[in-house]
Amino acid sequence: MSRSGALDDNEIQTEMNKMVAFISQEAREKAREIQVKADEEFAIEKAKIVRQESLAIDALYEKKRKQAEVGWKISQSTALNASRLKVLQARNEHLENIFEEANKQVLLLLLAPEVTLSHRPKDSDLVKKAASAAQKRYKDMSGRESKVSFESSLADDSAGGVVGSTMAGRIKVDNTLGERLQILEEKMLPELRFDLFGANPNRKFFT
Amino acid sequence: MTSAVAIPPPFYSPYLDDQCNKINSRQVPWEGYQRAKLLSGDELTLLKSLSKLPQSQRSTVFATQGPQYAKLYIDLLRKLQRVDTVQAVLCAINDMLADPSTIPLFHALSTPENPDDPYGPIVKCLSMEEEFAVLGSLRLLAVLIATDPKPFPSSLVPTVLASLQGLLNGTRQPLWEVASQVLGAILGRKQFRVPVWEEEQCISGLVKALKTNPNPQAQYWAISCLWLLTFEPLVAENIDKKYDIVAVLTNVAKAAVKEKVTRVILSTYNNLLTIAPRQNLPAFFTAKVLPLVTALSSRNWSDDDLREDLNFLKTELHNRLEGLTTYDEYISELESGHLVWSPTHESENFWKENGMRVGQEENGKAIKLLVDLLKTSKSPLVLSIAAHDIGQFIKYGGDKAKQTISNLNGKTRLIELMAHENPDVRYHALMSTQRLMSQHV
């Protein structure tokens, strides 16, 4: 068997080593390429996820902030209303005090034709006196006679004044002071307010 | 880089290995250093005990005492001045790093007094005059930097890059080979991509080698570096403009014999097209990459990634080509005033289909724009293209085309341009004037 051209064991070993080294080098180069590509893809994915999540967090906190803002607005509005109510209540109380005072004043009488004057018992003399004077004036003004009958039926602790009724109680004119005061209370509120509390700074138009 | 044991990048240099063997066969007189108080008694013991063991048994020592050895070697590099001792230490570190599990031991050496460790002392060796000191240090840096999860101290970057660019532009091939592999290793770290891009000599050294050296392995190393650079958007946008890279790579690809060279070229194309398509598409068309890619597809490749890249490039370039020859694209190019030799201008089909439209749509707005560009532009490229387009318009624009051009004073201007200083401008002006004058188009 000719051995020229064939390699001996040492040479074979060297050649094999060279081939192994070559294959190993090629493999490591390819491995490097794969690793680099993988790292880059990882970086891109990570950046994408981070961005998504931070947008989500921003949205969540925006929502929370809005909710907090709404809640604050509500409580602010509630507090404002409560304080307004308090002011109104205080004014109302003040007003009622004034009316109470007015109720204790001295009386005034007015008349209707053929009236039955219901009045407080203790007023009966007063009423009788006032009634005759009134009748006279009535005659002057309207030329009619009127007949007055008296009834002491009003409660004693009311403010006084009379309730005139005619035709057996079918028409009534409530002229008690309380009633008159009531009417006044409602009608005079604007002027009262102005006198008591001064002008309203928020108001621009006055009739 | 989240592997449990970091994979060091491949490194191949029989030249360096040879030198290492020679250095390792010498005996270093460590005792002398101990007497000079540069070494402690313990350190001496460490060195001597290691030198008694053959390479194959040293890993057990490193398993237990690895950290001390790592610290010792770096401290020695910091303190030593003598060339042959430095060489010995560099080789010793290299041998130790052959076992990848020792790599993290070096990464862990950074302390408050020496925050740049282990890199500081190694970079110091780069300034030594002796060749092996430089090459050996670079090799160590490649392995350590590529596998380090922490960033490299930025103050040391310029020194490293200066050293590399010197070797890349030098004349000696083995040194170039070491430098290109080291560059490839560190470019795996994002941190280095922009600094290397700014170190222009590095890149020009690589490109020069690509143009002159036909060796496939050298080509592979050079192109790998370029590929890694193109992951950075700044690079992808500008590298072709500066270095004409698409043309260079296409030339290499046409002649490439080894699959891995083609593989890495295609990966680079992929990056350029994906990361900065607008800037690179014209180059792709001028260099006729699509025909190349189509031709390559017919060959039998064994690598899956390569085939994927090939398919991607083929489809992408094809679609972009279709997209680029639309009428609207043409109009927007005219309006911007930046004419380039895109497929629109060259494709006869485009003119056949759109010639009439150019003259008629919106009262001939397009043709007015074209003539305006002809009159006002100072750039020879734009003038050539405008002149050429006018010629095409005359050919396909219908009977009134010549009249339109004359009315807009285009004829006078074309004739003027026939005497322009730029030969391309003269040529296209001549061709178009011919068409304008002749009875048969």
Q: What ipTM was assigned to the predicted interfaces of this complex?
A: 0.72
Tokens coding A160: 């006084």
- Whether the pLDDT of residue B440 is over 70: the answer is no
Q: In what order do the strands lie in the sheet with A171-176?
A: A148-151, A115-118, A161-166, A171-176
Measure in Å the smallest separation between the Cα of A39 and chain B Cα atoms. 7
Asked if A39 and B188 come within 8 Å (Cβ–Cβ), the reply is: yes
First CA to last CA distance, chain B: 65
How far is Cα A159 from Cα A181, in angstroms, rounded to an integer? Answer: 10
- Whether the pLDDT of residue B70 is over 80: the answer is yes
Q: In chain A, how many H helices and how many E strands?
A: 4, 4
Asked if A33 and B267 come within 8 Å (Cβ–Cβ), the reply is: yes
Structural element, H or E, at residue A163: strand A161-166
Cis peptide bond N-terminal to B118, omega within 30: yes
B353 or B35: whose pLDDT is higher?
B35
A40-54, B145-159, B321-335 — which is least confidently predicted? Answer: B321-335
Residue B228 in contact with partner chain A when CB distance is under 8 A:
yes
Structural element, H or E, at residue A84: helix A9-103
What's the pLDDT score for residue A176?
Answer: 65
Distance of alpha carbon B162 from its chain centroid, rounded?
A: 17
Maximum Cα interatomic distance, chain A, rounded to a whole number of Å: 172
Nearest to B260 among A29, A34, A39 (CB): A29
Domain ranges of chain B: 1-144, 347-437
Tokens coding B195: 């600094």
Residue B12 in contact with partner chain A when CB distance is under 8 A:
yes
What's the pLDDT score for residue A109?
Answer: 36
How far is Cα B383 from Cα B417, in angstroms, rounded to an integer? Answer: 8
Chain segment A138-171, per-residue pLDDT in tens: 666 555 555 666 665 555 555 555 565 555 556 5
Asked if A29 and B267 come within 8 Å (Cβ–Cβ), the reply is: no
- Whether the pLDDT of residue B7 is over 90: the answer is no
CATH architecture, domain B347-437: Alpha Horseshoe (1.25)
CB atoms within 10 A of CB B369: 17
Interface test with B, best of A24, A29, A35 (most B CBs within 10 A): A29
By CA distance, what is A28's nearest residue in B? B10
Residue B7 in contact with partner chain A when CB distance is under 8 A:
yes
Q: How far is CA B68 from CA B48, B75, B268, B296, B393, in A?
A: 14, 10, 43, 54, 79
Chain segment A47-96, per-residue pLDDT in tens: 999 999 999 999 999 999 999 999 999 999 999 999 999 988 988 888 77
Q: Which domains does chain A have, with CATH numbers?
A: 89-197 (3.30.2320.30)
Distance of alpha carbon B374 from its chain centroid, rounded?
A: 37
DSSP reduced 3-state for A172? strand
- Whether the pLDDT of residue A181 is over 80: the answer is no
Chain segment B272-282, per-residue pLDDT in tens: 999 988 788 87
